Structure 1
Amino acid sequence: MALEKQEKEIFEGLELSQKNLIHFLHRIQARFGYIPPEMVDELAQRLHLSPAEIFGVLTFYKAFTLEPRGKHQVTICLGTACHVRGGKQIVEEAERRLGIKAGQTTPDREFTLETVNCLGCCAIGPVVVVDGVYHAHVSIDQVEKILKSATEKSHEKA
């Protein structure tokens, strides 16, 4: 899809106003999977803001990312309940299996691995979330299966 058409989809239906900055950022991230630098420049121009002002918003909210993300989002809880039940070891196993550290994306952009301080479901920890699907009471032995199931599901959809 040409950038022109993508821009039209992002900017249509919303007033070109600074009050809609976060709405536009969500649309851009939904479309590209991250916020590309050229879209920051385009947004700055359209909303009469400096790129620095937009970067200020982007870096304030953890929901936005400036780096391309993987097709599959893996989030591992490190809150107190998950941590005492082996959350750190689960992160280490996922890092080993994926060949990346938490906060990184695999070179093939298949997986992005993240940790969070709490997912709010302490009773079922340790918890791993893959593409919005919660896996409860996860053990180190289950990590490989959980990661494989994500790629198998995406191949079924193709």
Structure 2
Amino acid sequence: MTTSSITMTTAPSPSECAAGHHDPVLQHAACPLFMDQLFAVMAACLLQALGGGVVAPALPGMLSKVHEERAKQLLLSKVRGEISIPDIARECNMSTSYFMKAFKKTTGKTPHQWMLSQRLAMAQAYLRNSTLSLTEVAVVCHFYDQSHFNRVFARSMGVSPGVWRRISKGDLG
């Protein structure tokens, strides 16, 4: 039986050349922040080159279009209790307070106000196009109960959901 020996050699560190010399340019490659920035620049260049357009930067203090759409998508899932505002901020790589300020500057509403407006728009569609009871509309649109739905709707629309439904259907009599 023959015995073979395997010698293990260690690879040079990212800041060393193959010959074992220290390379000051490559030492930056060992820094995760540098690598993240490098990949972000490369991704932006690829998007610009292959996407046929320029990646629009966000205005100072505002969400980029990508972050705005992602945040809105996550907020809509929040209705079902699956995610919190800090989670959404983390998804956008922002602190919670910065996210909330940027969201308001971008949309003109706080995340909670935006969510309520979406639920109210959904309620209006149900009131106009369905025969669901007001209680059923409240449940489908994720209001706590019919009383909560009535208060929020009347405060926003100036009339109760029942009156709004009759007006929207032209049934004023």
Shorter-normalised TM-score: what interval? 0.3 to 0.5
TM-score, normalised to structure 2, is 0.31
Give 1 or 2: higher helix fraction: 2
Whose strand proportion is higher, 1 or 2? Answer: 1
Q: TM-score, normalised to structure 1's length?
A: 0.33
Q: Which has the higher contact order (CA 8 A, sep 6+)?
A: 1
